[in-house]
Amino acid sequence: MIKFFSALIIICIVLVYPIFCIGSESLDIDLIIQKAENGDAYYQGVLGEIYLRGEMGEKNYKKAYEWSHLSSDKGNPLGAYNLAILYESGIFVPKDSLAAHELYAKAYIPMLELAKRGDPRAQVNLGYMLEIGNGVEPDLQKALGWYEKAAHAGYPTAQYIVGYKYYHGWGYDKDYDRTLEWFNKAAEQNYPPALHFLGNMYANGVGVTRNFEEAVTWHRKAEQYQYSIETINPDSSCYVLNGIDYKGDLIIPGLLPPSFILEITEGSCGESCLWSIINSKNFVASQLEINKSGGCFERGLHANELHKPLDRYHIQYADNMHKSYFQYALSFLNPANILSSHSNKYRDYLYNVVIEKVKHGNPLILGVKIYPDKHYFWDCDHFILLVGYNEMTNELIFNDFNKRKRINAEKLLDKIDGYSLINRYNFLNYIEIKNF
């Protein structure tokens, strides 16, 4: 397992979380679509952001690109800003840092003018540009000023950003009281990232008295709200593909990755896999509750504990992950495992077991090594949830923490940097979910 650390919360805000939500400025999607279709460049940019961030539940990068392009061509900064994010991240379009820089530069002056007129969306975007130095010289204090303007105006995204800055001491002196003040303001408007972060604070006893029940309350609010706005369409798999058409994809429907990462020691990769399975039909449990049901509250679940939440929530499975200490010792001392790469065995396992099970509609929690190997005695470092396969491209589709990713199957058969099936014990690590 690996521990996940967030480097810049602003990146998450820009690429993941909705700007508008219940309790903030009213978002009449029908009116926005009408104005965008009638050629209003501002609302075309707004609509592009809605699809980019999934503000109404569906992320669709194709539509985000199309509406943002129309807006940008007319000189609106929101459209140019959205396109810059797409090119900077390589989402839907090829990654192009130069194009992103030019679009940020194009957006800066009109974004500044829009922000001065009190538009909170523009104020937050401008703050990000100033903080990171995209299209303008970086200036954290100016960025904080724009975040604060939007926050004081009641904009929940900005309230969350300011609170997060106080939490980490980024631009401010670290101040948990101010953190709680701003997070609570955003939480009052049902802003999911604030709800979830409050849960993390109570779970870890940071800035507040540690309280598991209080932590669960906040996490459930965040995860249940986020779950309720996600769109699952088995026919088009719009959530899975985010509007990008990958010809040949075979996806097991209903397995949303969680929107949030549980911040615990040793990482929460197992909890996130279990969350997708346990909540596949309806929201049942938060990641924190799943972690506790594994019997190891305060750290991430290990391979020999993943079955406990599955039992607790009555999920049928076949466990090929749980090993005895005797099996570890026997395998570790086996000369054949030292002298042989077992390449044929791993290849047969991958194509005739793993991929076949996924193709037949059974998701797999897969234990993988991460190379270069930092944990010599571990047979797997990380857990991912396999949810699909593309035979045309030989790609496996999987949930990894709160993201949906793809990997060429052949990559899992080498020890080059990244995920691999190969481990020194010659174990084949997976849990197959039955009758899904």
How many Å apart are CA 152 and CA 120, to the nearest integer?
10
CB burial string 100-120: b at 16+ within 10 A, e below? bbbbbebbbebbbebbeeebb
Q: Are residues 252 and 392 in the same domain?
A: yes
Pairing of strands 249-251, 382-390: antiparallel
Least confident of 83-87, 313-317, 361-365, 372-376: 372-376
pLDDT-derived band of residue 95, with 50, 70 and 90 as boundaries?
very high
Q: Are residues 390 and 257 in the same domain?
A: yes
| Highest mean pLDDT: which range of 22-36, 52-66, 258-272, 381-395 | 381-395
424 compared with 121, residue with greater pLDDT: 121
Residue 47 included in any domain: yes
Q: Are residues 23 and 118 in the same domain?
A: yes
Residue 128 included in any domain: yes
At residue 411, what is the residue type?
A: K
Q: Domain ends where: 136, 157, 173?
A: 173
Residue 218 included in any domain: no
Q: Are residues 153 and 269 in the same domain?
A: no
| Predicted pLDDT of residue 274 | 98
pLDDT-derived band of residue 297, with 50, 70 and 90 as boundaries?
confident
pLDDT at 232 over 70: no
Q: What is the pLDDT of residues 156-183, one digit of tens each?
A: 999 999 999 999 999 999 999 999 999 9
Residue 425 domain boundaries: 246-433
| Predicted pLDDT of residue 341 | 61
Residue 401 included in any domain: yes
Q: How many CB atoms lie within 10 A of CB 392?
A: 11
Residue 228 included in any domain: no
How many Å apart are CA 303 and CA 322, to the nearest integer?
6
3-state secondary structure (DSSP) of residue 272: helix
Estimate to the nearest angstrom the gap between the alpha carbon of 391 and the chain centroid. 25
pLDDT at 246 over 70: yes
Closest-CA residue to 309 (of 282, 278, 280): 278
End-to-end C-alpha distance for the chain, whole angstroms: 25
Domain CATH number, residue 140: 1.25.40
Q: Are residues 257 and 403 in the same domain?
A: yes
| Predicted model pTM | 0.84
Please give the mean pLDDT across all residues of the chain.
87
pLDDT at 335 over 60: yes
Q: Domain ends where: 154, 173, 192?
A: 173
Q: Are residues 251 and 124 in the same domain?
A: no
Q: Are residues 150 and 261 in the same domain?
A: no
Percent of the chain with pLDDT over 90: 69
Radius of gyration for the chain, computed over Cα atoms and rounded to the nearest angstrom? 23
Residue 235 included in any domain: no
DSSP string, 215-231: HHHHHHHHHHHHHHH--
309 compared with 325, residue with greater pLDDT: 309
Residue 204 included in any domain: no
How many Å apart are CA 392 and CA 383, to the nearest integer?
25
| Predicted pLDDT of residue 259 | 86
Q: Domain ends where: 135, 158, 173?
A: 173
How many Å apart are CA 193 and CA 254, to the nearest integer?
22
Q: Are residues 286 and 404 in the same domain?
A: yes
338 compared with 361, residue with greater pLDDT: 361
Number of domains comprising the chain: 2
> What is the rounded average pLDDT of the residues 262-286?
93
Q: Are residues 270 and 418 in the same domain?
A: yes
pLDDT-derived band of residue 27, with 50, 70 and 90 as boundaries?
low
pLDDT-derived band of residue 219, with 50, 70 and 90 as boundaries?
very high
Residue 40 included in any domain: yes
Closest-CA residue to 196 (of 253, 120, 254, 268): 268
Residue 331: both structure tokens together: 């395998």
Domain CATH number, residue 278: 3.90.70.10
DSSP string, 140-184: HHHHHHHHHHHHHTT-HHHHHHHHHHHHHTSSS---HHHHHHHHH
